[in-house]
Amino acid sequence: MKYILALFFSCALINSFAQKHSLEKIWQTDTIVAVPESVLPDAGKNILYISLIDGAGWDADGKGGIGKLTADGKSYDSTWITGLSAPKGMGIYNNRLFVADINIVAVIDIKNGRVEKKINIDSASGLNDITITDKGIVYVSDSKTARIWRIENDKPELYLSNVNGVNGLKCIGDELFIGSGKSFIKANAQKQITNIAQLPEGIDGIEPVGNGDFILTAWVGYIFYVTAAGNVEILLDTHIEKKNTADIGYDTAKHIVYVPTFNAKTVVAYMLK
């Protein structure tokens, strides 16, 4: 009995120190955002780009687009880019916005606000997240075929296959951080895989905090803080309220997390503390 009590108080003590980070809500839009899947901050322009599915998650219906929201959440343009289908992850390089859309990557000229070209990946059927290196190399996940594609000079080639449950991606230097189902892993330049952490739910968004740690989301309604050592904290749990937490954006300078709530049709901003 004494051993059980000692173990109980020991676990309680550990848990009391486990939660070191939190999210404080700053603002929330009205329910006017047509199925937002991803938010990408453009800090220099004080703008948030939002991928709008505006329909079923994988339907090639031409109803989707990209919206623009000011970083304070007050001014929203829902029709900046139209004519996409089920746009999801996004990345910016040299004034071009790359958007994953089922089996194509749409390339948008940000200055002119128009689709410049569409990069077809014929064998893809579930393009999901995008990340771009500082040299302009694009990586895009295909959740339906368990593959990751690499695009250089607008030409795609298969980079990794058999990545079960692949969704979120983030490039940092020569390393590619990957959400593979519930597994948070990374691949180095030689494509060697290292496990970082195991999460209780499938991983969607991945954002580096800037100190080696990460913020990760699970679509069903969880946001996690994952340390470089692989320790996991739950920052937010909205799954009971059926408020999704899809592919987040993060402003490293202001420490603000921007959350697209998918079926709840809002974008919510939180301060990371």
Question: Of 119, 172, 173, 177, which Cα lies nearest the Cα of 148?
Answer: 177
Q: Is the pLDDT of residue 185 over 80?
A: yes
Backbone angles phi, psi at 8, to 5 degrees: -60, -50
Question: Whole-angstrom Cα distance, residue 134 to residue 17?
Answer: 37
DSSP letter string, 101-138: EBTEEEEEETTTTEEEEEEE-TT-S-EEEEEE-TT--E
Question: Whole-angstrom Cα distance, residue 102 to residue 171?
Answer: 21
Q: How confident is the model at residue 4 (pLDDT cuts 50, 70, 90)?
A: very low
Residues 6+ apart with CB under 8 A from 179: 129, 165, 166, 167, 168, 169, 202, 203, 204, 206, 216
Please, what are the domains in the chain? 21-272 (2.120.10.30)
Q: Is the pLDDT of residue 40 over 90?
A: yes
Residues 6+ apart with CB under 8 A from 236: 23, 221, 222, 223, 245, 259, 270
Q: Is the pLDDT of residue 16 over 70?
A: no
| pTM flag (> 0.85) | yes
Q: Over the chain, what is the mean pLDDT?
A: 93
Q: pLDDT tens, 55-85?
A: 999 999 999 999 999 999 999 999 999 999 9
Q: How confident is the model at residue 147 (pLDDT cuts 50, 70, 90)?
A: very high
Q: pLDDT tens, 74-116?
A: 999 999 999 999 999 999 999 999 999 999 999 999 999 999 9
Q: Reduced to 3 states, what is the DSSP secondary structure of residue 226?
A: strand
Q: Is the pLDDT of residue 18 over 80?
A: no
Share of the chain above pLDDT 70, in %: 93
Question: What value does the mean pLDDT take over residues 162-168?
Answer: 98
Q: Is the pLDDT of residue 229 over 90?
A: yes
